[in-house]
Structure 1
Amino acid sequence: MYAMQYEITLPADYDMEIIRRRVATRGHLMDDFPGLGLKAYLVRERGDEGGSPVNQYAPFYLWRTAEGMNAFLWGSGFRGIVEDFGRPVVRHWVGAGFRSGPAADSTPLTATRRAEPLPVGVDPAEAIERALAELPEDETLHSAAVAVDPDRWELLRTALWRGRAPEQHGTRYRVLHLSRPGLHELPAGRHW
């Protein structure tokens, strides 16, 4: 499993309805994309109830295969983002674990993301095991993943929620659409 996200920060006065229309008309194009576990079309809006300081479009992906991720990045999928917004930095992490939650068959409304450094002297495997053990058990949890960027030594925790996302789980987003062609094929538990 590979986690991937790019963030497109938009002007403070940007009409976010443009992003909502974009997702409403194009989101379904990823609903059966080969190699994709899930794509959550995430947004933050400046001043909304989540307390976001920015307007941002920040799709998040869990890929089942590197081939699927590559087909998206080097094929026509990502080209539309580049044409409309320029080429954003695409962050990616190696998947370390995944869990479906009690609300996995529902449509998530919110998401959270928390990235934290793995300081020198901290055993990455122990930190990953701890993060996996701490994956939420909440009844509104749709799914959660743990991943690592071994270039920056950064641990990433993400979760999708059926209802309002708990504040303690990091940066909060609204989910505009969820493509999940391979959700049930993402391996559960630890990925090594």
Structure 2
Amino acid sequence: MHAMQYEVTLPADYDPDVIRARVARLGHLLDGWDGLGFKAYLLRERGVHGSPVNQYAPFYLWNTVEGMNRFLWGGAFQGIVDDFGRPAVRQWTGLAYAEGTPGAAAASAAFAVRRRQPVPDGAELTTLMEEAAGEVRRLAGEDGAVLAAAAVDPHRWELVHFSLWEHDAPKAEGDVFQVLHLSAPGRDRLPRGRQW
């Protein structure tokens, strides 16, 4: 499992309905993308849920590197580059994944929470990664959780926790995003539990 995200930070006076219309028009194009676990089309609006910025920031979990590479180098990503410039694409190696409670897992996601945190120097890596996997299990078990995941970037030594929620009161800490669309062709094939 591979996690990926890019952020397009927009001007303070940018109309977020432009992004909503874009996702409504194009979001379905990845609904059947081979190798994709899911893509959450995410939006933060300045002043909403504490966001200091307007930002379009899709988050992906990939089942295969080939699917991710086909997206980045095969032409689909070029639409973002053409419309907004080339954003930095962050990638993390998967640590753990869990589906939410049965009722919520079938629900459509309304909100997402992403929390990035540095891996402290001197941290015992096995313990820290086990704790991250435990946090995934805890979040997935919360009322309203659709799914939860954790991943790590061992170059920057950064952990990312990501979760989807069916309501606007997520039980996770971090940046809160509205989910505009969820393309999930391979969600059922994402490996469950810890990834090592």
TM-score, length-scaled by structure 1: 0.97
1:138 match: secondary structure: coil
- Counterpart CA distance in 2 for 1:21 and 1:31 is 17
| Unmatched 5+ stretches in structure 1 | none
State the partner residue of 2:75: 76
State the partner residue of 1:7: 7
| Unmatched 5+ stretches in structure 2 | none
Q: Deviations over 1:24-72 (max 9, x none)?
A: 0100000000000000000000112x01110000000000000000000
Give the superposition deviation at 1:131: 1.4
> After the TM superposition, which segments of 4 or more aligned residues of structure 1 sit over 6 Å from their partners?
none
Q: Deviations over 1:76-114 (max 9, x none)?
A: 210100000000000000001100001111100000001
Which residue of 187, 192, 195 maps to 1:183? 187
State the partner residue of 2:87: 88
The question of whether the paired residues in 2 share the 8 Å contact of 1:6 and 1:60 is answered with yes
TM-score, length-scaled by structure 2: 0.95
| 1:39 to 2:39 alignment | yes
State the partner residue of 2:99: 100
**What code does the residue aligned with 1:111 have?**
A
- Counterpart CA distance in 1 for 2:58 and 2:67 is 16
State the partner residue of 1:129: 130
Give the superposition deviation at 1:167: 6.3
1:169 match: secondary structure: coil
| 1:22 to 2:22 alignment | yes
Give the superposition deviation at 1:160: 0.3
State the partner residue of 2:159: 155
Give the superposition deviation at 1:168: 4.4
**What code does the residue aligned with 2:187 have?**
L
**Percent identical residues:** 56
**What code does the residue aligned with 2:167 have?**
G
The question of whether the paired residues in 2 share the 8 Å contact of 1:112 and 1:158 is answered with yes
The question of whether the paired residues in 1 share the 8 Å contact of 2:94 and 2:195 is answered with yes
* 1:163-182 equivalent positions in 2, closer than 5 A: 163-166=167-170, 168-182=172-186
The question of whether the paired residues in 2 share the 8 Å contact of 1:101 and 1:140 is answered with yes
- Counterpart CA distance in 2 for 1:71 and 1:166 is 33
